[in-house]
């Protein structure tokens, strides 16, 4: 694997080099304290040192809203929307977010492969960047250590003078080739910061906890604070549920079929005809959300469907932490099934 030194004063010219290779998307500042991925217009507006973006790059493969087809009742016809495959370079991606994309690849390629997602996903290059975990990140606990580079074509690791660039794949090497702004001297890597936030059990022990957590008191406890806003679903890189609806125009002769993000924390999500709702209470919905991340798909794939980004906690309207929920489940499991005293590591601890 080839390594190069990119000094800080050459970052903008490197981004300009990338723009000659394809459409480049990277983190930008948004408002006072937030960041979001946008297409790069000006290299100097790219921010590589950031804690997390509000939404992950999922939005480029599964847009929040999309028209699937348009139809005409008059002509008894319909036309599917066309999606062009185009080269996209994602610069400055944190490693947990590329793992989120790999999880979605699984979801959308099983059974009936989902064409729209797969076409948007094709020809994507991922350039990762190292980051310092803040009080919300807990990726290490779900099997994603700080410098895990799986899924990246190129990886930028911060050092004292800029970044060490590793070309990981052939695609990555071909992107790096031709850039003449690298420095001859390699700089010392920056100190590694450790995760402050962590799950009480490593992810591979959690299936045993979830096996026994269906009736845990945590679900009712957390539902007293949850307002059912669905923000945790909307910001999650691995939530992929959507709703499909037909919208007629005013003539009532033609319309469009649209797909929109949906979220299992919303009251309407499990509502069906006849006024029934399969998950009427917030406790049931919260349990479903967390079981989706740590049990249902994990039982099939062996991997957690939470990548530890911390978004659902950082942006929760009610300050609910998924780490506290899981840690309380671990406490309750230990107290009930292993006869150990409760250590108060999660929600219970937060209330003390």
Residue ranges in contact with ligand SF4 by CB under 6 A: 226-232, 235-238, 265, 293, 306-312, 316-318, 320, 322
Closest to ligand SF4 by CB, 146 or 309: 309
Closest to ligand SF4 by CB, 166 or 345: 345
8: enclosing H helix or E strand: none
- Given a contact cutoff of 8 angstroms between Cβ atoms, the answer to whether 130 and 156 are in contact is yes
CB of 121 to ligand SF4, least distance (A): 18
CB of 314 to ligand SF4, least distance (A): 9
219: enclosing H helix or E strand: helix 218-223
Q: Which two tokens stand for residue 74?
A: 């008059």
CB of 286 to ligand SF4, least distance (A): 6
- DSSP states of 245-304: EEEE-TTSSEEEEEEEE--TTSGGGGEETTTEETT-SHHHHHHHHHHIIIIIHHHHHSS-
Closest to ligand SF4 by CB, 258 or 324: 324
Closest to ligand SF4 by CB, 83 or 229: 229
SS3 90: strand
Torsion over CA: 90, 93, 99, 100 (sign): negative
CB of 99 to ligand SF4, least distance (A): 9
C-alpha span between 162 and 166 (Å, rounded): 13
Classify strands 154-159 and 162-167 as parallel, antiparallel or unpaired: antiparallel
CB of 310 to ligand SF4, least distance (A): 5
Closest to ligand SF4 by CB, 10 or 279: 279
């Amino acid at each position: 694997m080839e390594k190069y030194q990119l000094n800080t004063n050459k970052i903008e010219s490197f981004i300009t080099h990338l723009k000659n290779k394809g459409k480049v998307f990277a983190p930008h500042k948004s408002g006072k304290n937030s960041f979001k991925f946008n297409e790069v217009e000006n290299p100097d507006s790219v921010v590589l040192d950031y804690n997390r973006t509000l939404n992950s790059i999922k939005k480029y493969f599964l847009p929040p809203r999309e028209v699937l087809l348009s139809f005409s009742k008059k002509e008894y016809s319909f036309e599917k929307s066309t999606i062009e495959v185009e080269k996209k370079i994602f610069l400055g991606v944190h490693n947990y977010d590329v793992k989120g994309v790999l999880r979605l690849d699984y979801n959308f390629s099983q059974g009936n492969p989902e064409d729209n997602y797969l076409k948007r996903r094709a020809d994507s290059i991922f350039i990762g960047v190292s980051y310092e975990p803040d009080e919300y990140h807990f990726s290490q606990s779900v099997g994603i250590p700080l410098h895990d580079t799986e899924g990246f074509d190129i990886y930028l690791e911060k050092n004292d003078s800029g970044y060490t660039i590793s070309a990981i794949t052939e695609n990555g090497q071909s992107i790096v080739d031709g850039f003449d702004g690298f420095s001859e001297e390699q700089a010392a890597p920056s100190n590694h910061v450790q995760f402050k936030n962590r799950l009480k059990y490593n992810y591979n022990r959690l299936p045993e906890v979830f096996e026994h957590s269906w009736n845990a008191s945590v679900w009712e406890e957390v539902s007293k604070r949850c307002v059912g806003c669905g923000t945790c679903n909307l910001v999650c890189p691995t939530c992929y549920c959507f709703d499909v609806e037909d919208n007629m125009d005013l003539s009532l002769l033609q319309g469009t079929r649209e797909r929109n993000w949906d979220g299992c924390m919303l009251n309407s999500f499990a509502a069906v005809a006849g006024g029934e709702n399969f998950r009427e209470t917030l406790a049931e919905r919260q349990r479903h959300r967390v079981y989706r991340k740590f049990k249902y798909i994990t039982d099939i794939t062996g991997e957690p469907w939470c990548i530890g980004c911390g978004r659902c906690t950082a942006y929760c309207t009610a300050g609910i932490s998924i780490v506290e929920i899981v840690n309380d489940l671990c406490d309750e499991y230990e107290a009930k099934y292993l006869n150990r005293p409760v250590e108060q590591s999660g929600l219970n601890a937060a209330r003390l």
